[in-house]
């Protein structure tokens, strides 16, 4: 056990977060995301019993967001014509706002298939048990100042 590390952060995840450098990307994927096939070249960390919001909140206590890019947080865009509510995005906004002065301004969005493609070059993908739709979120790591 360590002080100050959220309990949800496993030793495996802590090691990966520590290994990541400035500009590396991390995907927190919902339960429908093809984590294993998209993450063939990434480290895939299984956290099936947890939701994306609780993981995001814990990670951002340790993980600085990139200040050298305009949008270090990206969500998967809704597919045109897909009539889906995304209340989880409000949770994400509140969590990021708590940890980064840019709040909602830190967010961008990426078209669905482009999000998959970007995820292929992520350093790591966290596969969660999140059941909310469009709950995938990509973070770009910054520097500790």
Annotated catalytic sites, by residue? 22, 66, 116
How far out from the chain centre does Cα 71 lie?
13
Contact between 78 and 134 under an 8 Å Cβ cutoff? The reply is: yes
DSSP letter at 138?
Answer: E
Radius of gyration of the chain (CA): 14
Q: What are 119's two structure tokens?
A: 């995820």
DSSP state of 134: T
107-110 vs 73-76, strand pairing mode:
parallel
């Amino acid at each position: 056990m360590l002080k100050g590390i959220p309990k949800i952060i496993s030793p495996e995840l802590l090691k990966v977060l520590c290994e990541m450098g400035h500009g590396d990307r991390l995907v927190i994927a919902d339960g429908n995301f093809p984590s294993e096939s998209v993450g063939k070249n990434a480290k895939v960390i299984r956290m099936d019993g947890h939701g994306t919001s609780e993981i995001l909140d814990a990670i951002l206590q340790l993980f600085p967001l990139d200040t050298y890019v305009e949008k270090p947080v990206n969500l998967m865009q809704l597919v045109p014509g897909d009539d889906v509510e995304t209340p989880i995005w409000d949770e994400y906004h509140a969590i990021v706002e708590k940890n980064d002065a840019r709040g909602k301004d830190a967010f961008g969005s990426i078209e669905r298939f482009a999000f998959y493609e970007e995820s292929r070059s992520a350093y790591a993908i966290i596969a969660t048990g999140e059941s909310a739709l469009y709950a995938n979120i990509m973070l770009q790591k910054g520097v500790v100042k």
